[in-house]
């Protein structure tokens, strides 16, 4: 099932390192080429010789050899390995290593390799219950998830300390199944394609401290960018104000106003194959922007009149100038939802439109979404509640299909 797949297995310090021996053996039996990297702490639990025997490959522990008197071939081995791998798995992933990865610390061979890899990374955390539930560890795991790393959640049970709780590394069979499912579902169908994704809100300033904005968190756009990168695309993410971390292998450009987003998107438009406009761009902006803060005492009336003008319609502009690009838009409607979304699809000359649903677990701020994807040929697919990452892949499936149809016509 994993024939020809190149997998790096990272092992960190923890009693569950012995389980990783079974993981390596299982991956090898399925046909994978496995190379093991250990932290110095991991060697206190299992010897490098054990993993070398199981994997049939050299095991690396230290960045530099103990002695260089007779020369060394270490060179930039972490870079060479980073380019070699289809997948990296760290099991067990200790609290210490999770913290280092979350904050970009590269103080050993394994963490240096993590910074260099271009392939997806799966982590299987393992630690005592209080360490796992500690808010710092949970924050670090949240950072890694936002960056696009995949987490095999630990299990509950008796721990090495004698305590009972969550923190046990997933069993080898579960880890192997996770890897198999990953390769079964992974698609590199967008390799060589350039995709531009917009995300988040735009802020239209009234004065230096006030603005017109909306509730968009940017989560949908960031998940689309992450999924696009996972499928091999070169991704540019143009985002309004948000506190989300940049997904791995994604080029991020931050903007604030709708005008700024318009300028960046237009700049790159002719260089990309796909534009997915998931940003909630403001429809209106103040006609007058005050250079100083407006104070109550400077406004004698009880009511204040703020005059607005329409912002540039980025989607319409792109649709009018479209050449061979695939253009995807989003719609958020409160009435006549399907009719309005289909009309927008036609008016903006889109290839696909994604109709968002506002409700419990769907819309702004949620990690899940309920959408209907409508194509210009009239095909319509209503999806159940899914994570935004899953929705992103459904959208990309449609994009990939358009590419395939275009290639068939050629």
Instruction: Indicate which residues carry an active-site annotation.
Output: 214
Is 344 assigned a ligand-binding role in the annotation? Answer: yes
Is 348 assigned a ligand-binding role in the annotation? Answer: yes
Lookup result for tokens 């912002």 = 311
Q: Which of 89, 158, 179, 161 is nearest to 125 (CA)?
A: 89
Beta bridge partners of 237: 197, 252
Is 193 assigned a ligand-binding role in the annotation? Answer: no
CA dist., res. 9 & res. 358, Å (int): 42
Q: Are 16 and 168 in contact (CB under 8 A)?
A: yes
Token pair for 289: 């922007």
Q: What 3 state SS string does the chain have? A: CCCCCEEEEEECCCCCHHHHHHHHHHHHHCCCEEEEEECHHHHHCCCHHHHHHHHCCCCECCCCCCCCCCCCCCCCHHHHHHHHCCEEEEEEECHHHHHHHHCCCCCCHHHHHHHHCCCCEEEEECCCHHHHHCHHHHHHHHHHHHHCCEECCCEEEECCCCCEEEEECCCHHHHHHHHHHHHHHCCCCCCCCEEEEEECECCEEEECCEEECCCCCCHHHHHHHHHHHHCCCEEEEEECCCCCCCCCCEEEEECCCHHHHHHHHHHHHCCCCEEEECCECCCEEECCCCCCCCCHHHCCCCCCCCCEEECCCHHHHHHHCCCCCEEEEEEECCCCHHHHHHHHHHHCCCCEEEEECCECCECCCCCEECEEEEECCCCEEECCCEEHHHHHHHHHHHHHHHHHHHHHHC
Binding-site annotation: residue ranges for CTP: 283, 293, 330, 344, 348
Binding residues, by number, are 283, 293, 330, 344, 348
């Amino acid at each position: 099932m994993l024939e020809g797949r190149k997998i790096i297995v990272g092992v960190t310090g923890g009693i569950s390192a012995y389980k990783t021996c079974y993981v390596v053996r299982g991956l090898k039996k399925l046909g994978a080429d496995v190379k093991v990297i250990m932290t110095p702490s991991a060697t206190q639990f299992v010897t490098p010789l054990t993993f070398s025997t199981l994997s049939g490959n050299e095991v690396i522990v230290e960045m530099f050899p103990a002695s260089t008197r007779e020369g060394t071939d270490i060179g930039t081995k972490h870079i060479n390995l980073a380019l070699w791998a289809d997948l990296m798995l760290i099991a067990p992933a200790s609290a210490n290593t999770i913290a280092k990865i979350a904050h970009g610390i590269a103080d050993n061979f394994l963490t240096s390799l993590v910074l260099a890899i271009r392939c997806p990374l799966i982590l299987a955390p393992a630690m005592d219950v209080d360490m796992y539930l500690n808010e710092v560890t949970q924050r670090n795991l949240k950072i890694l998830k936002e960056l696009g790393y995949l987490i095999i959640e630990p299990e509950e049970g008796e721990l090495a300390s004698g305590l009972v709780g969550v923190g046990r590394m997933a069993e080898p069979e579960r880890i192997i199944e996770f890897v198999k499912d990953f390769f079964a579902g992974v698609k590199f169908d967008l390799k060589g394609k350039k995709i531009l994704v917009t995300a988040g809100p735009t802020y239209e300033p009234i004065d230096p401290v006030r603005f017109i904005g909306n509730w968009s968190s940017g989560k949908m756009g960031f998940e689309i960018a992450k999924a696009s990168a996972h499928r091999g695309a070169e991704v540019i993410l143009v985002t309004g104000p948000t506190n989300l971390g940049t997904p791995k292998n994604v080029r991020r450009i931050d903007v604030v106003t709708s005008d700024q987003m318009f300028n960046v998107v237009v700049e790159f438009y002719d260089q990309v194959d796909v534009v997915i406009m998931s940003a909630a761009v403001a429809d209106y902006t103040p006609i007058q922007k005050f250079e100083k803060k407006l104070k109550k005492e400077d406004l004698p009336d009880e009511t204040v009149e703020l005059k607005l003008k329409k912002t540039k319609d980025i989607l319409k502009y792109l649709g009018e100038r479209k050449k061979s690009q695939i253009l995807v838009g989003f719609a958020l409607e409160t009435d006549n939802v399907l009719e309005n979304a289909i009309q927008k699809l036609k008016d903006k000359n889109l290839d696909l439109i994604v109709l968002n649903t506002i409700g419990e677990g769907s819309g702004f701020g949620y990690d899940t979404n309920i959408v209907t994807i409508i194509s210009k040929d009239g095909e319509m697919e209503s999806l159940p509640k899914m994570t935004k990452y899953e929705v992103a892949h459904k959208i990309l499936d449609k994009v990939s299909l358009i590419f395939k149809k275009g290639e068939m016509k050629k």
